[in-house]
Amino acid sequence: MAEQFDIRLDSLAGAADPLTERGLVISAAVPDENTFYIETFGCQMNAHDSEKVMGVLLGRGYRQVETIDAAKLVLYNTCSIREKAAQKVFSRLGAFRKGSGPEKIIGVLGCVAQQEGEEIFERSPWVRLVCGSASYSKLPDLISELEAGNRRVMGLDTDTDATFETEFTRRDNPFRAYLTIIEGCDKACSYCVVPHTRGPERSRASAAILVEVRRLADAGYSEIQLLGQTVNSYKDPSPRRMTFAELLVAVAAVPGIRRVRFTTSHPRDFGRDIVEAIDGVPEICNHVHLPVQSGSTRILREMLRTYTREEYLEKIAMIREARRSISITSDIIVGFPGETEEDLEDTLSLLDAVQYDGIFAFQYSPRPNTAAQHMPGAIPEEEKARRLARVIDHQREIQLARNESLVGKTFEALVDGESRRAGQWSGRCSSNRVLNFTSPRTDLLGEYVQVQVSRAGPNSLVGEHLI
């Protein structure tokens, strides 16, 4: 659920981590009380959880600082989706070994916290707060306990039906506001740790979501991204019983909202009503992230994905029948236990059949508390890397051809970045493509502009601002 249209080079994900490489040195300076530093790993939902954690702390009078040195409270919001992500946090924690500087309050939040629980205290006794991603509603109480001097506090429930509501959320992106509408996951994909770390599905009431969207629009946000591990499995718990497609339309109708995005959609719950909503409402972005994971029905069955290759392709056909051209992106896992060369060929041929506009591709990583962890037929790491490279190379060609077909066309871009070179800007189209462009204007951040595409690469478009 990070930014789309990158082919993630997962083989690079284990490359040296600059912080660990340098060796984190904690200086002798004593930080001010009520200061915090937070580092976030993983997906967009984690990034947004961190925004809410910041809101909770700022609301209690804490001040955010940019360095660990300057912070009294150091928080890591962790990810455990793949092993490398989970390992990172332990290398961070190692730097706070007793005697390595003035005592700080170290907290581990998120999926590693939920997964490892009390083990974290055993492995790193200097950690004082462990709060799992399914227990954030308890975070304010846990912080009160820390403030009262409790040595160790912990929140690890997953049987909660609460969602993480905050009075104030500190938002990092000035143009696009993220909004979680459903937490947890009730699916049971055999490779995935999320149902264990984030607990069961809990949806927010539609009225509360719409109140927040109106507040965001009043605060100047024009783009809303609705988030959920399976965002389209949304079930309005209020008597209104708004469907996900109705919610999309209602969010888009809020005055001031120009773009509505949503991620991640699960193929099983992806219905025609969502395509009709996109078709009928221009504010709903013409982009669907619909992870397939594998092109082989045999592997999909082993993954417990609940659809076959053919059923998935029917969903794609339904999206392609829309009047608007809708871009489609996906997640792919290679090297799942027992994956044969033929299964890999099925994935490559599915890329051809779908013609994705972007994918995230990953090497399978065995995770604790998952059904696939001990499945026979483990694929060696170097073979997984080879398969990943094949998928990435194949998809790069597809993306390049798709992007080249857009040369000469004009798209609206929301400008969200400025290059160091004068007159160079970066924005995103409704389809979520990155569009880098030149303009004589010098004040474009946050504006919606028309850009004509002049060149295309596999991961982005290049163009000129039409004035």
User: Which positions lie near ligand SAM, rule CB under 6 A?
Assistant: 43, 81-82, 191-192, 194, 229-230, 264, 266, 291, 293, 331, 333, 362, 364-365, 367
* Least distance CB 79 / ligand SF4 (angstroms): 12
Q: Mapping DSSP to helix (H, G, I), strand (E, B) and coil, where does residue 62 land?
A: coil
* Least distance CB 358 / ligand SAM (angstroms): 13
* Least distance CB 335 / ligand SF4 (angstroms): 16
Sheet with 287-289: strands ordered across: 287-289, 327-334, 358-363
Q: What angle do CA 8, 321, 456 make, to 5 degrees?
A: 40
Strands 63-64 and 35-40: parallel
Secondary element (H or E) of residue 434: strand 434-438
Contacts with ligand SF4, residue ranges (CB under 6 A) = 185, 187, 189, 192, 194-195, 229-230, 266
Query: Taking CB within 5 to 8 Å according to partner kind, which of ligand SAM, ligand SF4, none is near residue 82?
Result: ligand SAM
Residue 87: phi, psi to the nearest 5?
-65, -30
Beta bridge partners of 129: 107, 153
* Least distance CB 337 / ligand SAM (angstroms): 11
402 CB-near residues (< 8 Å, 6+ apart): 355, 357
Residue 169 near residue 215 (C-beta atoms within 8 A): no
Query: Which residue's structure tokens are 């947890």?
Result: 184
Q: How far is CA 194 from the centre of its chain?
A: 13
* Least distance CB 101 / ligand SF4 (angstroms): 38
Nearer to ligand SAM, 222 or 225 (CB): 225
Nearer to ligand SAM, 48 or 72 (CB): 48
Nearer to ligand SAM, 194 or 449 (CB): 194
Nearer to ligand SF4, 372 or 388 (CB): 372
Cα–Cα distances in angstroms (integers) from residue 400 to residues 170, 360, 394, 396, in the given order? 37, 16, 10, 6
Nearer to ligand SF4, 71 or 332 (CB): 332
Query: Taking CB within 5 to 8 Å according to partner kind, which of ligand SF4, ligand SAM, none is near residue 195?
Result: ligand SF4
Query: Taking CB within 5 to 8 Å according to partner kind, which of ligand SF4, ligand SAM, none is near residue 430?
Result: none
Amino acid in position 12:
L
Structure token digits, residue 199: 């607990």
* Least distance CB 228 / ligand SAM (angstroms): 8
Nearer to ligand SAM, 82 or 176 (CB): 82
